[in-house]
Structure formats: structure tokens, C-alpha cells
Amino acid sequence: MILHLNPFTGLAGDMLLGALLSAGASVDVVRQAVARTGLTGWRLEAENVRTGALMAVRVRVEVDDDATERPASVLIEMAARTGLTVAERALKAIAEVEAELHGLPPGDVHLHELGGHDTLVDIVGCAAALADLGVTRVHCAPLPLGSGSVETRHGVLPVPAPATLALLRGAQVRSGGEHEAVTPTGAALLRAAETVYGGVPPMEVLATGYGAGTRRLPDRPNVTVATLGRPLAEHDRQVVLSTNLDDVTGELLGHVITRMLGAGAADAWVTPAVMKKGRPAHVLHVLAPADLADHLENLMFSETGTLGLRRSWVDKVTVPRTVRTVELYGRTVRMKQGPYGVKPEYDDLARLAASTGKSLGALTREALDAL
């Protein structure tokens, strides 16, 4: 499932959570996830409110104490109890940028404004809502940076806050927005979800939700818009080049496939065949983007010495995919995520198997469990 976010007036943790609940996530699932952290003395309420001309969901976190400071390591440990990797990643990201800004080891970071109940509830709640909706890819339009200043424990700081800017490395942003348009919590959640920035991806719209901010704006609704959709397959007209070969070695076939892929082929493969007079042979196939077909055709002639080949136009159909990562035994393993499944990258697992002595099958299962 794809989630596209439109930060119309900005994005904060509570606005994102409200938008996800408005789009269909279960508030009970969110409450259960927060309860697994071991946090006490809190209540989460979601209510429909009018903001400007729109109805939206506003999230309120009520607490029995006003403590706003905790070590980052405590919050990370609490989030880890939920099994929600997005929540744990978001809090680790906050700890890392705070450590960088203040010259501390991440383990020594003490969160002030971000150390309260509402930070943990918003982050764990959003992670639980994403999982409940079955979201596998998050896209977001460019974020408004806001303007002005904000009061913090460290004094008055410019908007965007330094922590927010650090968390937005790699994000697409734009001018506009009033006051603190994007909060550190919102930025950390976008980073943890491995958000892709830009336009709306091809998808079938299934639901739309509006999450309300607390500030009232005189001329517009203060909302983040969440659109949930099913990915659409993309069609691309390409060329298949194929030739029959009965006079080349297996080593040459492997070399040609490598050359073709290195030259821009979308794919290359070999199938066994029996030719006239019962001669065993192979058929070399190359899937070529239209603009590379002539170049790859010449390369096929020069590398194989074939006297002829065939061209066939085909529609290449692909579904959207992303690459996520997990950590296993101190190494990064890439995970290819599509709308219908996920698969670890073979090369990463092979290197890990060589260094650990574990089987590929066991490492595959561990990588999937770690996602």
C-alpha cells in the first residue's frame, strides 16, 4: 500500500497520526501499541474537528504528569518493546542528530522538549497506524520550512529548528508555512519511513485522511493530508533481442550477459535449445530500452559473432518497488520491497554467509524477521 502525504500547512507527529486515523487506521490498535511501551499515565483521544472549511481528526494526548525530559536511550528502549521498527528508527534518528548538534555520544543524549509522553505516543502511534494500514511505501510532497523562531531549553532558536533541519537531510523542501511548520518528530518519522519526496506516484486512490494541527490559521485549514492507494503497474515499451548460438562456450555466454547488463540492458538471460540436425544450442535474450536497442544489438553481434538476430517489441510491466535496509551481525542487508512481497538482496546475504558461516536460508529468514 502507498501513502502519499501533502503537508499543506506543515507536518507534526500529531498531525500525521490524525491523518492516518482519518484515513482508516484503528485508534484501538494505536493505543495497544503505545501500551506495549510500558508508558503509564497517558490517554489518547482522537476527535473530529473543523479547521477552516474542512473536517479533520485532531489527536490529543492527556498525561498525569508534565515531565518533558528523558534520556533518549529510555525512549528508544520503550519503543523497541513494540516491535515497530519505524518507531525505533525515528527515536534513534532524533538521538543521533541531537548528539551531533551538541557534541555528545548518542547514548548520552538527554531529550528536553522531545522527552515527554506526547513524543513517544506520536511516534509509536504513527508507526502502529502505518502498519495497521499496510503501508509499504511513503511518498511526500515538498515540505514547507516555516519561519520565525521557537523557544527551547537551549534558548530561542531559528525556525526550522536545527534538529529539524538535520533530520530533513535528503528531503525536498519549499518556502512557506507559518511558525514551526515541520517539527522534529514529524521529520524523524519521515526519515524512519524512508520517505520518497516528489509528486504523487501512480496509484488507485482508496482513502484520504486529514490530520488537524492545534494552531488556528485565519485563511486556511491547518492540516496534513494523507492519501492511501494501491500501486499501479507501469508499462514501458522495450525491445527483446534474441539470437541462437551453437558455437560458443559457457564462459562466453556469461561474459556477454555481464557486458549487456553493464551497457544498460534491462535484463539478459540464456535458454537451452535444440537446433536443426539435433545440435544443442543456447538462445541469448536481451531486454533493451528502446533508446539503447541499436547499441546493444551491435554489442551482441561483436561479442558473439552471430550472423543474425531477432527483434521483438514487448510491453515491460513493472510494479513500484523500494529498497529498505536491515542490520544483521553488524552488516547492512538491502531488502527489495514491492507491493506483494519483500526479498533480501542475494549479494548482501552471500557476503554475510561467508563471514558468519550461516546458511543463506537461515539468514533470509532472519532478514525478513528484522524488517
Where among 201, 231, 261 does a domain terminate? 231
Domain match, 25 and 145 both: yes
- Give the predicted TM-score (pTM) of the model: 0.68
Domain match, 255 and 296 both: yes
Cα separation, 79 vs 121, whole angstroms? 10
Domain match, 309 and 344 both: no
Domain match, 146 and 246 both: no
| DSSP string over 97-131 | HHHHHHT--GGG-EESGGGSHHHHHHHHHHHHHHH
pLDDT in tens, 187-222: 999 999 989 898 888 889 999 999 999 888 888 999
The number of domains in the chain is: 3
Domain match, 308 and 328 both: no
Domain match, 191 and 283 both: no
- In sequence order, what are the residues at sequence separation of 6 or more whose Cβ sits closer than 8 angstroms to the Cβ of residue 28? none
Confidence of residue 36 (pLDDT cuts 50, 70, 90): very high
Cα separation, 246 vs 220, whole angstroms? 71
Domain match, 59 and 187 both: yes
For the stretch 350-355, contacts whose Cβ atoms lie closer than 8 Å and that sit 24 or more positions apart, written own/partner, are 352/328, 355/329, 355/331
| DSSP string over 255-268 | HHHHHHHHTT-SEE
Domain match, 352 and 339 both: yes
Where among 231, 266, 288 does a domain terminate? 231
- In sequence order, what are the residues at sequence separation of 6 or more whose Cβ sits closer than 8 angstroms to the Cβ of residue 362? none
Q: Which of 158-167, 223-232, 313-322 has the highest mean pLDDT?
A: 223-232
Among 6-20, 149-163, 195-209, name the one with the lowest average pLDDT.
Answer: 149-163
At CA 190, angle to CA 189 and CA 194, rounded to 5? 115
Q: Are 87 and 79 in contact (CB under 8 A)?
A: yes
Q: Are 194 and 322 in contact (CB under 8 A)?
A: yes
Q: Does residue 286 surpass a pLDDT of 90?
A: yes
Domain match, 114 and 79 both: yes
Where among 231, 262, 281 does a domain terminate? 231
Q: Are 1 and 230 in contact (CB under 8 A)?
A: yes
Extract the C-alpha cell encoding 292.
539503447
Domain match, 71 and 183 both: yes
- Enclosing domain of residue 291: 234-318
Mean pLDDT of the chain: 89
Domain match, 153 and 27 both: yes
Mean pLDDT to the nearest integer, 335-353: 91
Extract the C-alpha cell encoding 226.
494523507
Query: β-strands 42-51, 54-63: how paired?
Result: antiparallel
pLDDT in tens, 113-153: 555 678 889 999 999 999 999 998 899 999 998 776 666 66
CATH code for position 281: 3.30.70.1380
Domain match, 47 and 190 both: yes
Q: Are 343 and 335 in contact (CB under 8 A)?
A: yes
Confidence of residue 107 (pLDDT cuts 50, 70, 90): low
pLDDT in tens, 247-280: 999 999 999 999 999 999 999 999 999 998 899 9
